[in-house]
Structure 1
């Protein structure tokens, strides 16, 4: 008779996400995961498969968290430019939560593992495509409504914003001064107006 799981999988994913976010995939050992969760190795392997499979589940949970936060913030926006500002402000709040920001787990994963692993690369490319697609929709609507200039195509601006967001998250690891970070946001958005 198979054993019944007696732990909260979502809690374990959250605990392990914190470990991967702190250390990255390569520096995280199975012992780190055991220590963080209190589970034995066989429970982890039986429930989640390999460390790699668990990492992918953690990336997906991290992405889902931000997708939910974006959905809430975007509903508050009066116009597309304000929605883009809300996205940056969401990341600003995350950076300022701690004086030792770890950056974005997905951005960190991109620098650590992009094009070293097919499954990870596919996840990262899909994440980029979703984010750029959302930004394209916002910029396109903003250009139609006159909030965003038409000096560049909405596709060009969306890719620029995607790059700016990634850079903003990396900068936030080393810069925690709210005024300096707000100035980065202002300068980035000024390009669109």
Structure 2
């Protein structure tokens, strides 16, 4: 068996940007060949097909993005500072020019997940990891007296997940910093 003539992670990073820019359905095998810089047979040999390449690219994107979110939440000195850091990171991410159109994961949820059970399970599982991390942070915030114990920590976690996802959807067509900062400020007022 011949060894690969390319770095698989580098190819996956390129694939992320191709799928992110064009969307899954609009990305052709020719787009992938041109953008990845490897031949059709190498794509099929290493990844199987376009769908399997998409799954691996999404897995890489999600694992890195979710690790970043959980790190922000877990390493914050307080619940409020963690949420502020998380929302600030989201605002900076969605306004950064390296984000072609919103968020690759959210775009995949909207475009593909409803018709594709593999993608639906993949993004749903990742959503639950983030929700669980936020839920734990809200419970800890209640124990520390940072937020009122009458508030439902799971509902708050889901609200913040929805807020972040909504911001990433808007990033497909909105680029005004104040718009996103207003959303962040209002979301933080929920725990005040």
Please, what TM-score do these two structures have when normalized by structure 1? 0.92
CA spacing shift, 1:57–1:100, aligned 2, 3 Å: closer
Report the CA distance between 1:86 and its aligned residue: 1.3
Aligned counterpart, 1:185: 184
Equivalenced residue count is 192
What's the C-alpha RMSD, in Å, of the aligned pairs?
1.7
Does structure 2 retain, via aligned residues, the 8 Å contact 1:103–1:172? yes
Structure 2: how far apart are the matches of 1:152 and 1:71?
22
Report the CA distance between 1:31 and its aligned residue: 0.6
CA spacing shift, 1:19–1:99, aligned 2, 3 Å: closer
Does structure 1 retain, via aligned residues, the 8 Å contact 2:73–2:133? no
Structure 1 unaligned blocks of 5 or more:
none
Aligned counterpart, 2:58: 59
Report the CA distance between 1:104 and its aligned residue: 1.1
Structure 2: how far apart are the matches of 1:116 and 1:130?
22
Report the CA distance between 1:114 and its aligned residue: 1.9
Aligned counterpart, 1:9: 8
Aligned counterpart, 1:89: 88
Does structure 2 retain, via aligned residues, the 8 Å contact 1:56–1:120? yes
Does structure 2 retain, via aligned residues, the 8 Å contact 1:101–1:172? no
Q: Which moved more, 1:16-25 or 1:88-97?
A: 88-97
Deviations 1:8-46 (A, max 9, x none): 111100001100111111111111100001111000000
Aligned counterpart, 1:80: 79
CA spacing shift, 1:101–1:176, aligned 2, 3 Å: farther
Please, what TM-score do these two structures have when normalized by structure 2? 0.93
